[in-house]
Structure 1
C-alpha cells in the first residue's frame, strides 16, 4: 500500500471541500451515496468504452471522483463530529459495491468475464480479510500489496491511457492486463492479510 501513506496530504487538500460541505449541510452519508453513484456511472461508461475507447477517459474521471468523495465523507464526518458505526458500515458496503460495478464494467466492456470474476473476487477477499481481523479481536488490517486507493489510482491511470492507445502484450490489451493485476495481486494481498492476522492471534 503506497497511497495511504499520503492520507494526511489528501486530508489537507480536501479541507476547502470539507468546509463547504459543512457550510451547506451535506451529510457524510450523502457523500458516500454520491461516491457510489460516481462508481456506478464509471462502470457503465467502462462497459460502453469497450466499443468506443475515448470513453475510457470519462471513466477515469469518474473513478477519480469516486476516490475523492470516498475520502471526503470520512473527513466531513470527523469535522461535523458525527462519525458513527452506522456511517462506517454504509461507507464500507457502498465501497464494496463500487468495486464490483467498476470491475464488472471493465470486464464486460472487453467481454472478459473469467478475468473479471478473478479480479473482483481478489478485490473482495482483500477487503474481507481487512475487516475480518476486527471480527476476531484485532485491529482492522490495511497492510498488503495493493489497497483501495492504489487500485483506484491504477484504474484511473490505465483507463486514461487506454482512451488513446491500446497496445497488446501476448494478445491482451491494457484493460485485460489490469484485470490480471487485480486478480493476482488481490489474492496475494488477501493472503498477506490472512497470514498477518493468523500470526497476531498466536
Structure 2
C-alpha cells in the first residue's frame, strides 16, 4: 500500500542512490542476489551479537539495498520478466531468513511459522489469480504488503533494542501482530481475487 501511494515520489530517489551500482556495471539480478546475501549475513550476525537494535538498523540497510534492483533495471533499461520473478522468489527467502532467525534466537517457532505463512499466502493469493486470468500488478492496494512488512519488522527490532528489559516480549508481540496482519492481508487479497475471477467467469458465459 505504501509503495503504491509514494511510488512516483520514491522511485527517483532509488534511481539516484543506484548511481554507483550502475556505474560499476552491476546487473539487476546481481543487486537482488547481493541483497539476499546481506540479509543472511546480518541475520547470522544477530545470532552472534544478540542486539535487536543493531539487527533492526542493519536490516533496514540490507532491505534498502535490495530495493535498488528495480532502480538499476530502469537506469540500465534491463527490466525483464525473469528478473521480476527472480526478485519475487528472493523476497520470500529474505523473509524466511529473518523470521527463521527470530524464531531461533527468541524460541518463537510457532509465531514465526504463522508470520511466514501469512506472508507467503499474501503473495500466493495474487500469483494464483494471475494463473487463471491476466491481472494488473498495480491494482492490489493491500494493507500489509512487502514494504509494510519490512518496515514493521525493522521497527519492532529497534523498539526491542531501545527497551532491552522488554526485548523478548516486544519481539513476541511484534511477531503476533505480523502474523495477524499478514493473514488479514492474504484474506483481503483472496477476497479481491475471488471477485475478479467471478467477473471473469460471467464474461466468458
TM-score range, shorter chain: 0.7 to 0.9
Task: Indicate the RMSD between aligned Cα atoms, in angstroms.
Answer: 2.0
Structure 2 CA distance, aligned partners of 1:191 and 1:47? 33
Structure 2 CA distance, aligned partners of 1:3 and 1:174? 26
Look at both structures and tell me which one has the larger radius of gyration over its CA atoms: 2
1 or 2, which has the higher helix percentage?
2
| Structure 2 residue 75 is the aligned partner of structure 1 residue 82 | no
Question: Which residue of 191, 199, 202 corresponds with 2:195?
Answer: 199
* 8 A Cα contact 1:104 1:116, kept in partner: yes
Q: Which runs of 4+ in 1 moved over 4 A?
A: none
Per-residue CA deviation, residues 147-199 of structure 1 (Å, 9 max, x unaligned), is 1111111111111121120465xxx7111011101211111111110110110
The 1:45–1:176 alpha-carbon spacing in structure 2 relative to 1, beyond 3 Å, is farther
Equivalence map 1:13-162=2 (5 Å)? 13-48=13-48, 52=50, 55-137=51-133, 138-140=135-137, 142-162=140-160
Structure 1 CA distance, aligned partners of 2:162 and 2:85? 38
What is residue 189 of structure 1 aligned with on the other side?
Answer: 185
TM-score of the superposed pair, with normalisation by structure 1: 0.88
Provide structure 2 residue ranges, at least 5 long, that are not aligned to the other structure: 199-205
The 1:198–1:94 alpha-carbon spacing in structure 2 relative to 1, beyond 3 Å, is same
Query: How many residue pairs get matched?
Result: 196
TM-score of the superposed pair, with normalisation by structure 2: 0.87
Structure 1 CA distance, aligned partners of 2:180 and 2:47? 22
